[in-house]
Structure 1
């Protein structure tokens, strides 16, 4: 029988910042978890947590709606751990007790970072499963037994088909960012996975929007769910300033360099993976410490670059929509849409990387003459009012949007290299397999990441130079 349409028992609030109200202990969170939260510096529940925890801790199915940065992760992590700790079941090889599904590798890693210290406090074991890495360690982890499995749908489906995992012992299932799963086309595989979990298990679904695809999941798999909303993705953030900079194509890069050279973390969005790589190289060549994040990078490079951004060794991250969906880095002061997105939902999701948890932030969209109509339609659908300014490099507004002294890094002091996923960084023009052949060492190493001699060499990129001795003799 189809579940009844969820009903809303909560009052929407204006942002995701902590508010005066009940403590975690008063909401029913066990004392050991409260202590672990305090150790992590988390003392006050966010509105989405205060709204959902009483129901989720009581075992009810919950539909939580809130945009990025509203505190959804702890809203489902805490009841999962609390209920598993109180359960009398034990972990068994290949049969997780709880399942958390997330759309991207980065988001899986972020959830793991949040849940790991809390799970350790309760002697519970967690495991992450996603593609782009060798499956062997994941299989070994499954065979050892796991309490909470945090997974991307595709790789988990592979483990189920190979017989390394079963979902018949799952007591609690969580779908995080369900709307993004729908956007990426994951709903068929998510449906197959949920069909393999017990029908009487608890299910928690968190989403920024309740589109048609997500609504199908709610109706089919959630039983009499309680709905709590803390702003949807269609609600603009009051503490976020939006600016559209009308520039000529030739001014696009100088304006980006000016903005990203200012103090603070900056997240720059491009539409394509190739565009992210190209723009990263251009920024680095201009002295801006920048790293890239997109699907063409191997997992080790993605992890390394995200860590460099979070740690501050590279204050600018150039990313695509999909890759950046899992970015949960505090203190991103500026989001730049170097390429305006195709739809308003993507604009809001991108912009949600700043002004998180009640903080303030600035969002800048670069617009050329050919993009005026598209950007006007985009902002209208997103429900935001942006200040539009036609400007050139050096305009005083750039300093207002990104205040502070501009800093440009010399080539020798650039951040750690972003290594191509299929190669280790090697000296320009060398190939270790031909090291015994002096003639071969003079040959440039061609790769799919080469640049021309007119492009400054960037860290971790094997640059092709046309000025070799062999080339000059010709």
Structure 2
């Protein structure tokens, strides 16, 4: 059996990986590590969930560990660029524990939060800087940092950076790094200008393509549920009331906000993630989803790339996406790292042509079924006892652009959908390959209908959950204010080909 040591990963890192339960490299890691650790420029292509984070993290750590360059104020030795704040935080959470074993220092830089702590961190000196392009450019223009000492540059999710319009600032940043430094670029595709970055900044890159981005993992089961417009919300609630983590995607920020509040009112603990939330609210909502306080995340495509939380059993396209690439990236929140997962698209009569075209271009052949609320098929797709969360609804407290959603306590009868108090992803959460063990669940994130019962049971493919029902002091979660509500607002739906809204 091939190990990380066989590819030149230092013993201190292989030991640290083994402590996390990671002993065998994924295909993208096995393919790229020999070249990246040798110092060559590497172009890695692979779909989401293929293990790319460790593929570039390990060579960065290994090469800096043997480099004789000192750590200097404001002059990072390695630069990792990521398109979103959540992904930057997650990359740092993966790298930081390993860097500490080598005496290396990491720092994240992104917008939406105060700049002063980042400025202080840069002045103190940092070995590995994980940054979003816009805020890093601000720091450089204000003289708080320089990239002239960067030995290794990594572009993660380069195609997503192109989709978000970051390529001009990315080119500007890379122009400020030494031309003889090592560069690695990881991307699912090479379209939308990513090939320009490759030609301009990479020297004879060694290309490794693993797990085609145009194909869905074989471990992923795809279903299309053909529903009537007024059945969409009850069917969605039925699926989400089963135990297990689920991610629900909407097309717009407003839809994510409204749907989250509707689910809360229906007894489904849910949190939202979209561009209208303040950064502290985004962090807390991701923490609540990561530690199990809320097992449903309602998100726009901001969560379709890079975000990893263990044991997401179900992805639901409440609004089918516009393009097939978005379908694949959204769906990639489940069936990660070889695990199994289920993807469900809710489709109404007027969406049949668009959904058929979408899945064809995505290269998947979903099972299509006409469905009504109470259909036994729903229990097959999301197994486990359906239960509601009961709690008084508290008045939300205002907080900048977000506000606290009402919190609920689990009913005391029977074991809840248990999960203990895990660490938030922003505080060193689960690395990409870390094997998880399901534990106890704490208090519910939100509240809703009276007279409902606590949840029990488990979704197939995951360990049973138990214990700790009714614990107070659960992680606070945040949701945007919305005066519109009711299932009718969701059931009205949007067409697949409609106007795209911001994330």
TM-score relative to the length of structure 1: 0.84
The secondary structure found in structure 2 opposite 1:179 is: helix
Shift of 1:35: 1.4
Say yes or no: does 1:159 pair with 2:139: yes
Q: Is the 8 A contact 1:99 1:173 kept in 2?
A: yes
Q: How does 1:229-378 map onto structure 2 within 5 Å?
A: 229-378=209-358
Choose from 82, 85, 92 the match for 1:112: 92
Q: How does 1:457-468 map onto structure 2 within 5 Å?
A: none
Q: How does 1:166-245 map onto structure 2 within 5 Å?
A: 166-245=146-225
Choose from 379, 384, 393 the match for 2:364: 384
Shift of 1:22: 1.5
Structure 1 79/275 Cα, relative in aligned 2: closer, same or farther at 3 Å? Answer: same
Shift of 1:391: 1.4
Q: 2:399 and 2:354 mapped to 1: Cα distance?
A: 34
1:16-67 deviations in Å (ceiling 9; x for gaps): xxxxx42011110011111111222211111111111110000000001111
The secondary structure found in structure 1 opposite 2:7 is: coil
Say yes or no: does 1:57 pair with 2:37: yes
The secondary structure found in structure 1 opposite 2:195 is: helix
Shift of 1:211: 1.2
Q: 2:239 and 2:396 mapped to 1: Cα distance?
A: 22
Say yes or no: does 1:25 pair with 2:15: no
Q: 1:338 and 1:109 mapped to 2: Cα distance?
A: 27
Q: Is the 8 A contact 2:313 2:334 kept in 1?
A: yes
Choose from 67, 70, 76 the match for 2:56: 76
Q: Is the 8 A contact 2:277 2:480 kept in 1?
A: no
Shift of 1:325: 2.3
Q: Is the 8 A contact 1:295 1:323 kept in 2?
A: no
Q: Is the 8 A contact 1:299 1:421 kept in 2?
A: no
Q: Is the 8 A contact 1:173 1:204 kept in 2?
A: yes
Say yes or no: does 1:42 pair with 2:25: no
TM-score relative to the length of structure 2: 0.80
Residue of structure 2 equivalent to 1:406: 386
Shift of 1:300: 1.0
Choose from 451, 461, 466 the match for 2:483: 451
Residue of structure 1 equivalent to 2:492: none
Q: Is the 8 A contact 2:106 2:130 kept in 1?
A: yes
Q: 1:342 and 1:420 mapped to 2: Cα distance?
A: 33
Residue of structure 1 equivalent to 2:497: none
Q: Is the 8 A contact 1:108 1:326 kept in 2?
A: no
Shift of 1:419: 6.6
Whose Rg is larger?
1
Shift of 1:395: 1.0
In structure 1, list runs of 5 or more residues that go unmatched.
1-20, 428-446, 456-474
Structure 1 81/410 Cα, relative in aligned 2: closer, same or farther at 3 Å? Answer: same
1:134-186 deviations in Å (ceiling 9; x for gaps): 10100010011100000001111111111111111100000000111111111
Q: 2:224 and 2:327 mapped to 1: Cα distance?
A: 12
The secondary structure found in structure 1 opposite 2:313 is: strand
Residue of structure 1 equivalent to 2:439: none
Structure 1 274/30 Cα, relative in aligned 2: closer, same or farther at 3 Å? Answer: same
Q: 1:454 and 1:233 mapped to 2: Cα distance?
A: 37
Choose from 373, 381, 384 the match for 1:393: 373
Residue of structure 2 equivalent to 1:468: none
Residue of structure 2 equivalent to 1:100: 80
Structure 1 449/147 Cα, relative in aligned 2: closer, same or farther at 3 Å? Answer: same
The secondary structure found in structure 1 opposite 2:5 is: coil
The secondary structure found in structure 2 opposite 1:79 is: helix
The secondary structure found in structure 1 opposite 2:383 is: coil
**Higher mean displacement: 342-351 or 321-330:** 321-330
Residue of structure 2 equivalent to 1:127: 107
The secondary structure found in structure 1 opposite 2:138 is: helix
Q: 1:100 and 1:261 mapped to 2: Cα distance?
A: 39
Shift of 1:449: 1.7
The secondary structure found in structure 2 opposite 1:370 is: helix
Q: 2:196 and 2:251 mapped to 1: Cα distance?
A: 29
Q: Is the 8 A contact 1:305 1:418 kept in 2?
A: no
Residue of structure 2 equivalent to 1:458: none
1:191-219 deviations in Å (ceiling 9; x for gaps): 11111101000001001112141111111
Shift of 1:450: 4.7
Structure 1 424/211 Cα, relative in aligned 2: closer, same or farther at 3 Å? Answer: closer
Structure 1 261/418 Cα, relative in aligned 2: closer, same or farther at 3 Å? Answer: farther
The secondary structure found in structure 1 opposite 2:260 is: helix
Q: 1:320 and 1:453 mapped to 2: Cα distance?
A: 18
Q: 2:294 and 2:485 mapped to 1: Cα distance?
A: 25
Structure that is richer in helix per residue: 1
